[in-house]
A and B are shown apart, each in its own frame.
Chain A
Amino acid sequence: MMSTLNKKLKAWPVWMLMGILVVALLAVGAGRQSGPLTQEDRIDNVTQRLACPTCDGESVYVSQAPSSQNIRNEVARQVASGQRTDDEIVAFIESSFGGQVLLVPRATGLDALIWVLPIAVLVCCTAGLALTFRRWKREQGGQASDADRALVAQLLELDTDPTDSL
């Protein structure tokens, strides 16, 4: 009794319901607002995307160098004026400060490789793994080779010898 109830409880329909429940809850959570961002939060978001011009590889958000302070102040001014979106502020900083201020490579030209290669590698690895599994499956179904037979014979010999001598 118990085990059939257990089986029914954990069967496909219940799992489907659980799936629907999760999707619904995630939709609720992903859709709702996190409360208004303060200006400071927006400044943090923007400065995390900008590179400090004088230090190596740090973001303006992380860096405490004076040059970063300048950019942070400019971002703060832009956020306070409320006229530009985050993306527009990033573009504005890029055009007005010049140099390399973006922390994220663009998806054009040579730079696009950095986005394409990871996906290519993932696809190749997954395909390779899938092919290997197919080969394995074929080998399982296939005929034993001579080498396999020899191996089995050898092992059988090893296995039976001690018992014979007993």
Chain B
Amino acid sequence: MLAVAGVSGSLGRAALLIGLVGAVFGMFASVMGTRQHDEKVLRLVPRFATLCVVATVGAFVCMEYAMITRDFSLAYIQKVGSKSTPAIYNFTAVWSALEGSILMWLLILAVCTVIIAWKYRSRLIDPLVGWAMATMFFVCTFFFMLTLGPANPFGKGAAGVLDGPGPNPLLQNHILVLFHPPILYVGYVGMTIPFAFAIGALITGRLGEGWLLETRRWALFSWGFLTFGIILGGWWSYEVLGWSGVWAWDPVENASFIPWLTGTAYIHSVLVQERRGMLRVWNLSLLIATFSLTILGTFLTRSGVLNSVHAFSDSDIGPYLLTFFGVIVLVSVGLIGWRGEKLRSPGTIDSPISREGAFLANNVLFGVFAFVVLLGTVFPLIVEALQNRQLIVGEPFFDQLATPIGITLLVLMCIAPVLPWRKASGELLRQRLFWPAWAGIAALVMSLAVGAVGLAPLLTFTLGGFAAGAALRQLALATRRQGLRGLVGRANGGMVVHIGVIIIAVALAASNSYTRSQEITLTVGKPAQYGGHSFEFVRFVEEKDDRRISVKAEIIIDGSGTYAPAIQKFINMGQNIGTPSVKSMFTKDIYLTLQPPVKVSTNTAKIKVFIKPLMMWLWIGGGLMGVGTLLAAFPGSRRKPTDPVSAPIAQEASV
């Protein structure tokens, strides 16, 4: 076996080198072929993309092989590998630290590149596609260089190491580690595709045939994965971290949320471009902002300038990422300055009270939201640079600003779906919003009846009811016209996403405002009561393997069903990790954690009980967002080109 050790390292590094060569050649082939309209050269482009993907898959397989065979000759395996890690968490350990994460990033990027190259191979002669390919290869080249330099996953480790600590305990504690990071990365990295097409559009000074549809679809695809990844992350936090929350405004969470916000702005305002041909430059800017923010976010969280619970390792890739970010921003701004005027459309938007106006208001709100989150994330850096003083910007700051922004967005979600294009009259709005508004009032009355208090949550419930009414009205009209097909397409799929968002907003408002908790000391044979539920402690269960010692406290809630919050001690890390146990119901979750210190020999256990209303609806809303995104990705019923594209002009006293 020893003879093989190190081979996967050399092979992996060789694969990455080959990939780098493929990316550089691919970039040159795209540029040269496009500039000289040389079809022969352009035909090579998809092959170079294939070379890149084969090389990255090879490198990734080498990494997994080294991980699975516990090849401790590699520094990375020494860092995150351990003989005692179970197979599944050993597999996921590849992306549990920086170098492996960058490798996974590269893998997804190479797959995106090859998909684009082959999908558009017959259109490569179009300079727009050619420049987009060149951009994709440029980004690939950068990431290949990262894996060969500062984030080298195949670096040689110290000699004589026979075992390692394994991945961070939080990354070997729940099956979601297999899904959350890759899915989030697909969303993150997928944003490169619309960015590449945006750069292609700017260089050529035109948008080209089908540009909009393709770009929108790729952006929606990435946005869907980003959304799904973020929600899975929230679920993971809830199931694993033991503080009963889903979102802590941690820098890494923010780094994924900021591009999500600008991406959300784009998938709305692009509809104005689709319908009216306007806002072209603005939409390009949003795509560029989204992509550069993924790079900036990676810089902030991976370079060690900001610390967070997610920052599983420090490294010196900071300057590289920052330079790359700078180059992207400078080139993009330069291109917009140079070509923007050429892309600008002549039309105007008639009235702020229109579908277009609502989308613009949406963009302002999402833009400000993204700015707030970015500001809160980097503000400690600014203060430290200027005054050399530590400062923490935590949850309460973000909550205080996110609440009014969220409520304003809900207001927009009430009105926007019923607005026609071009112009709306007050009368039309009063007509269309009448029943949705009553849905809001009904939601308010209902929440008062079940005892809800507080202005912000009540406003959320009211507006949630109103907005859901508006979305359902839209869906009802569409399905009445077209049957189930009425659910498909960007506008109507979008309404399904809206309903998912509203459910999440309501669930967040309820669980953030009305969570109650209590520490209870339980003794065997003496059930205790809290919040209308009984808790009976049965016994401690101790489990030991060579990885960890875990102590579970078996607790019966309401006389049936055993729940077992636990504390685990990971031997290699000497770190205690609490694992909660959750009883989920439609109206509320009962969330139990075991409190230290635990004395197994006694028959008393101290637990903390959280009662959290409507938590399950977070996941239901998330699922609905996923379904809606899928529905929106399929082309809906097309209007005939001759169909009127805006509300018919009122027939005045017609014959």
Are B392 and A44 in contact, CB atoms less than 8 angstroms apart?
no
Are A140 and B447 in contact, CB atoms less than 8 angstroms apart?
no
Q: Which of B350, B390, B454, B458 is close to A100, meaning CB atoms less than 8 Å apart?
A: B390
Are A22 and B440 in contact, CB atoms less than 8 angstroms apart?
yes
Are A62 and B241 in contact, CB atoms less than 8 angstroms apart?
yes
Are B396 and A49 in contact, CB atoms less than 8 angstroms apart?
yes
Q: Using Cβ atoms and an 8 Å threshold, which residues of chain A touch B391?
A: 100, 105, 111
Q: Which of B349, B431, B515 is close to A136, meaning CB atoms less than 8 Å apart?
A: B349
Known: A22-B441, A104-B396, A137-B348. 16 other contacts (CB 8 A): A6-B431, A10-B430, A15-B430, A29-B453, A29-B455, A40-B516, A40-B517, A48-B395, A56-B308, A57-B392, A59-B248, A64-B242, A69-B596, A103-B395, A104-B397, A140-B350
Given contacts A49-B396, A64-B242, is CB(A30)–CB(B368) below 8 Å? no
Are B392 and A29 in contact, CB atoms less than 8 angstroms apart?
no
Look across to chain B and name the residue whose beta carbon is closest to the beta carbon of A30.
B455
Q: Which of A22, A62, A118 is close to B375, meaning CB atoms less than 8 Å apart?
A: A118
Are B308 and A57 in contact, CB atoms less than 8 angstroms apart?
yes
Q: Using Cβ atoms and an 8 Å threshold, which residues of chain A touch B400?
A: 104
Q: Using Cβ atoms and an 8 Å threshold, which residues of chain B touch A10?
A: 430-431, 434
A69 and B578 alpha carbons, distance in the complex (Å): 14
Are B368 and A121 in contact, CB atoms less than 8 angstroms apart?
yes
Q: Using Cβ atoms and an 8 Å threshold, which residues of chain B touch A58?
A: 248, 250, 309
Q: Using Cβ atoms and an 8 Å threshold, which residues of chain A touch B361?
A: 129
B393 on the A face (CB < 8 A): yes
Are A56 and B311 in contact, CB atoms less than 8 angstroms apart?
yes
Are B516 and A59 in contact, CB atoms less than 8 angstroms apart?
no
Look across to chain B and name the residue whose beta carbon is closest to the beta carbon of A58.
B309
Q: Using Cβ atoms and an 8 Å threshold, which residues of chain A touch B459?
A: 26
Q: Which of B307, B383, B394, B458 is close to A30, meaning CB atoms less than 8 Å apart?
A: B458
Look across to chain A and name the residue whose beta carbon is closest to the beta carbon of B457.
A29
Q: Using Cβ atoms and an 8 Å threshold, which residues of chain B touch A57?
A: 250-251, 307-309, 392, 394
Look across to chain B and name the residue whose beta carbon is closest to the beta carbon of A49.
B396
Q: Mark B304-339, 1 if CB is under 8 A from A, else 0.
A: 000111010000000000000000000000000000
Look across to chain B and name the residue whose beta carbon is closest to the beta carbon of A122.
B368
A75 on the B face (CB < 8 A): no
Given contacts A55-B309, A104-B397, A136-B349, is CB(A26)–CB(B434) below 8 Å? no
Q: Mark A39-56, 1 if CB is under 8 A from B, else 0.
A: 011001000110100011
State how many angstroms separate the Cβ of B424 from the closest Cβ of chain A.
14
B448 on the A face (CB < 8 A): yes
Are B394 and A29 in contact, CB atoms less than 8 angstroms apart?
no
Q: Which chain A residues numbered 115 to 137 have a C-beta less than 8 Å away from chain B?
A: 117-118, 121-122, 125-126, 129, 133, 136-137
Are B394 and A103 in contact, CB atoms less than 8 angstroms apart?
yes
Task: Give the size range of B's interface with the partner.
Answer: 35 or more
Main secondary structure of the interface of A (DSSP, over half): helix
Q: Which chain B residues numbered 517 to 540 have a C-beta less than 8 Å away from chain A?
A: 517-519
Are B372 and A118 in contact, CB atoms less than 8 angstroms apart?
yes
B623 on the A face (CB < 8 A): no
Most buried by B among A22, A26, A32, A100: A22
State how many angstroms separate the Cβ of B548 from the closest Cβ of chain A.
16
Are B307 and A22 in contact, CB atoms less than 8 angstroms apart?
no
A88 on the B face (CB < 8 A): no
Are A38 and B576 in contact, CB atoms less than 8 angstroms apart?
no
Q: Using Cβ atoms and an 8 Å threshold, which residues of chain B touch A137?
A: 348
Look across to chain B and name the residue whose beta carbon is closest to the beta carbon of A76.
B519
Look across to chain A and name the residue whose beta carbon is closest to the beta carbon of B383.
A110
State how many angstroms separate the Cβ of B612 from the closest Cβ of chain A.
12
A33 on the B face (CB < 8 A): yes
A34 on the B face (CB < 8 A): yes
Are A26 and B458 in contact, CB atoms less than 8 angstroms apart?
yes
B483 on the A face (CB < 8 A): no
Q: Using Cβ atoms and an 8 Å threshold, which residues of chain A touch B311?
A: 56
Q: Which of A11, A25, A64 is close to B445, meaning CB atoms less than 8 Å apart?
A: A25
A-B contact pairs, 21 of them (CB 8 A): A18-B437, A21-B441, A29-B453, A30-B458, A34-B514, A38-B516, A40-B516, A40-B518, A41-B517, A44-B515, A55-B309, A56-B309, A57-B251, A59-B394, A61-B243, A104-B397, A104-B400, A110-B387, A125-B368, A126-B364, A148-B346
Q: Using Cβ atoms and an 8 Å threshold, which residues of chain A touch B309?
A: 55-58
Q: Using Cβ atoms and an 8 Å threshold, which residues of chain A touch B390?
A: 99-100
Q: Which of B251, B379, B434 is close to A114, meaning CB atoms less than 8 Å apart?
A: B379
Are B392 and A129 in contact, CB atoms less than 8 angstroms apart?
no
Q: Which chain A residues numbered 64 to 109 have a C-beta less than 8 Å away from chain B?
A: 64, 69, 99-100, 102-105
Q: Mark B504-521, 1 if CB is under 8 A from A, else 0.
A: 000000000011111100
Are B393 and A118 in contact, CB atoms less than 8 angstroms apart?
no
A61 and B608 alpha carbons, distance in the complex (Å): 12
Most buried by A among B243, B357, B459: B243
Q: Using Cβ atoms and an 8 Å threshold, which residues of chain A touch B517?
A: 40-41, 44
Are A33 and B387 in contact, CB atoms less than 8 angstroms apart?
no
Q: Which chain A residues numbered 1 to 42 have a C-beta less than 8 Å away from chain B?
A: 6-7, 9-12, 15, 18, 21-22, 25-26, 28-30, 32-34, 38, 40-41
Look across to chain A and name the residue whose beta carbon is closest to the beta carbon of B387.
A110
Q: Which of A9, A26, A62, A118 is close to B368, meaning CB atoms less than 8 Å apart?
A: A118
B245 on the A face (CB < 8 A): yes
Q: Using Cβ atoms and an 8 Å threshold, which residues of chain B touch A25?
A: 441, 444-445, 448
Q: Using Cβ atoms and an 8 Å threshold, which residues of chain B touch A133?
A: 349, 352, 357
A11 and B427 alpha carbons, distance in the complex (Å): 8
A129 and B359 alpha carbons, distance in the complex (Å): 12
Q: Which of A30, A48, A100, A110 is close to B392, meaning CB atoms less than 8 Å apart?
A: A100
B565 on the A face (CB < 8 A): no
Are B458 and A56 in contact, CB atoms less than 8 angstroms apart?
no
Are B348 and A136 in contact, CB atoms less than 8 angstroms apart?
yes
A84 and B242 alpha carbons, distance in the complex (Å): 29
Are B308 and A28 in contact, CB atoms less than 8 angstroms apart?
no
Q: Which chain B residues numbered 465 to 482 have a C-beta less than 8 Å away from chain A?
A: none
A151 on the B face (CB < 8 A): yes
Q: Using Cβ atoms and an 8 Å threshold, which residues of chain B touch A102?
A: 392
State how many angstroms separate the Cβ of B278 from the closest Cβ of chain A.
10
A64 and B580 alpha carbons, distance in the complex (Å): 13
A136 and B360 alpha carbons, distance in the complex (Å): 14
Are B448 and A28 in contact, CB atoms less than 8 angstroms apart?
yes
Given contacts A10-B430, A10-B434, A11-B430, is CB(A48)–CB(B396) below 8 Å? yes
**Which 8 pairs across A and B sit closest by C-beta, in order of nearness?**
A103-B394, A56-B307, A136-B348, A30-B455, A62-B243, A34-B453, A10-B434, A125-B364
